[in-house]
Amino acid sequence: MKGTVILSHGLESGPQATKVSALAAVCAELGWASVRPDYRDLAAGRDPIAIDARVARALEHAPPGARVVLAGSSMGAFTSGLASLRRANVGLFLLALPTAIPGYRHAFDAADVPIELVHGWHDEICPVDVVIDFARARDATLHLVRDDHRLGAHVDWCADVFRRFLAGLG
């Protein structure tokens, strides 16, 4: 195995969600292990403090000493970025990134690693301008597509972008 990808689903989905399932298939194809932590029990109360528990759960799935990539969609992207600050990793792949969560004490941040983002021009939940600013400040690769927060019209396309991202990590 080349390493492990921790795939984090969004707030209103689960480990079998369409996007993280598509990314898991890419992992298998390219020889990366993948894990999809289940955060549904933490989302039930919609408590912003549960974000800390999400980050802890993601990190529990990171094998000691292994190369790790963190990837996620929406709240899973937010979780992945915060987790990247607490555990060495080789890259972040973030879909529909919120850069702040109302009621949560921390703004989004991420480790200084290769970061690739996909975001919808018409994201009704996470404003595109803030994501552009984040990507610019980090020299991150940003793909903007004609889609909304769910990126439903671009699932296969996101998987192709992820394939190139992982291949570029070696």
| Span 125-145, pLDDT tens digits | 999 999 999 999 999 999 999
Q: Considering just the CA atoms, what is the radius of gyration of the chain in Å?
A: 14
Instruction: Name the pLDDT band for 103 (thresholds 50, 70, 90).
Output: confident
Helices (H) and strands (E) in the chain, counts: 6, 6
Q: Which residues pair with 95 in a beta bridge?
A: 73, 118
CA distance between the termini of the chain: 11
CATH 3.30.390.50 fits 4-169, yes or no: no
Residue spans of the domains in the chain: they are: 4-169
CA-to-CA distance for 96 and 150, rounded, in angstroms?
A: 7
Model confidence pLDDT, tens digit, residues 30-68: 999 999 999 999 876 677 779 999 999 999 999 999 999
